[in-house]
Structure 1
Amino acid sequence: MAYTLRSRRTTAALAALSLGLLALTACNGDAEKDTTTPGAQASPSGSSSDKGAGSSSPTAGPGDGGSGSGKSSAKPSAPASSEPGADDGQDGGVGMCETADLSYNVTVASRPVNHALLTAANKGSDPCLLAANELVLTIPGLDGAAGRMGPDGKDWILKPGEKAYAGILFSRADTAGGKSVDKVEVALTASESPTTLSINGGPVTVNDMQVTTFFGTAEDALTY
């Protein structure tokens, strides 16, 4: 009886040991599953980040680098500025006004007395440099040119269509005598051939004729 009891106890102990081993094995299996699951989930997140990095490439701006950045960052060179052609070396290529470059009109002024107004206009398509103090007025058939009156002027660029004015004093109010004329000759310099003009509102009496420099307004020209 003693043997039988001990044998049953041994069998029971072995059975309990077997159950413990089975339970331990089951726990280890669950632990392995738990550690495997995060690793399996990490793979999609990694591929998602790879896709995000790849998608930024098509939308990169010109300045973000890459093969296109070199083309977009290069600035086109500015076109060379055009320089005016050199005519006579005057004022960056603007040539002197010649007598034939301008049109003229001489009209007797209502005020002051014994005065006439010379109007000169640039009839060309290019500007020219007007010599202010070299204007020459003569009377056909008479010797000598008009004297200068008023202040000295400055040479200035006369644009196409722009006008310049000079005042002419044909005879002083306190001077008697003289010759009656209805024409005057105009040249911008003494070296040029003059242009003959009719005096609008003439004839006038010529005695001690004088002329001003060129001015920008008729009022200034008739001040002297």
Structure 2
Amino acid sequence: MAHTARIRRTAAALAALSLGVLALTACDGDTEKDTSAPSATASASAADADDATATPSTSAPSDGGADAGSSGSDGGTPSPSESATDDGQDGGVGMCETSDLAYDVTVASRPVNHALLKATNSSGDDCLLAAGELVLTIPELDGAAGHMGPDGKDWILKAGESAYAGILFSHADTAGGKSTDKVEIALSASETPTTVSVAGGPVTVNDPQVTTFFGTAEDALTY
């Protein structure tokens, strides 16, 4: 009887031991599962970090950044293509030709022996009036009139606008001369001149001179 009881106690102990081993194995398995599988919170945090890195910012640049990258097209420094128009003087218009202008020559009351040349742009288009190129000749005399006054500069004569030049026919201290009531005018030596009657003529011519073109009659008759 005692032997039988020991056998039963031993069997019970072995059974209890087996149950403990099984329980321990189950706990270890759960621990490994928890360790190997990332939590939902960790996964979401990683995804948010990836999105923040891959997606470019849509916020507007600072004012300093915009100014530094400005091309000047909104009132700033102009682009090279905008500034390439003969220093901004002619704006791309063509040169005035002799036939583009209508001319009037009128004897002036002052100074003496002077006349005023008025040239009006009758072409219908703006043109560039070259300085120092005006050629005035007297049919009865050889050669062209000399130039007097400042050199002047090229300027745009708009359609319908007039330019003025002063003509000196003779010097008071020069004797003699020829009488004429016409002059010939060209805007350059290479062009065919046009003949213009002298209103208030005839005049005596012995040493003619002419100014460059001016914007007013007063300036033209200063010399």
Category of TM-score, reference length = shorter chain: 0.5 to 0.7
The equivalences for 1:64-143 within 5 A come to: 91-143=90-142
Residue type of the partner of 1:213?
A: T
Determine if the alignment matches structure 1 residue 163 to structure 2 residue 168: no
Q: Is the 8 A contact 2:90 2:155 kept in 1?
A: no
- The alpha-carbon distance between structure 1 residues 181 and 149, as it changes in their structure 2 partners (threshold 3 A), is same
Distance of 1:177 and 1:91 partners within structure 2? 44
What do residues 161-213 of structure 1 show as CA deviations (whole Å, max 9, x unaligned)? 10000000000011110000110000000000000011000011111100001
- What TM-score does the superposition give when structure 2 sets the normalisation length? 0.60
Q: In the alignment, what sits opposite 1:211?
A: 210
Q: In the alignment, what sits opposite 2:185?
A: 186
Q: Is the 8 A contact 2:164 2:216 kept in 1?
A: yes
Task: Name which one, 1 or 2, has greater alpha-carbon Rg.
Answer: 1
What do residues 22-56 of structure 1 show as CA deviations (whole Å, max 9, x unaligned)? xxxxxxxxxxxxxxxxxxxxxxxxxxxxxxxxxxx
Distance of 1:140 and 1:148 partners within structure 2? 18
Distance of 2:178 and 2:140 partners within structure 1? 11
Shift of 1:115: 0.1
Residue type of the partner of 2:104?
A: N
- What TM-score does the superposition give when structure 1 sets the normalisation length? 0.59
Distance of 1:218 and 1:160 partners within structure 2? 18
Distance of 1:91 and 1:135 partners within structure 2? 18
Moved over 3 A (4+): none
Sequence identity percentage: 82
Q: CA RMSD in A?
A: 1.5
Distance of 1:137 and 1:190 partners within structure 2? 10
Distance of 1:203 and 1:159 partners within structure 2? 32
SS of residue matched to 2:132: coil
SS of residue matched to 1:125: coil
Number of aligned residue pairs:
137
Shift of 1:92: 3.5
Shift of 1:143: 1.1
Distance of 1:130 and 1:148 partners within structure 2? 17
Shift of 1:125: 1.5
Unpaired runs of at least 5, structure 2: 1-81
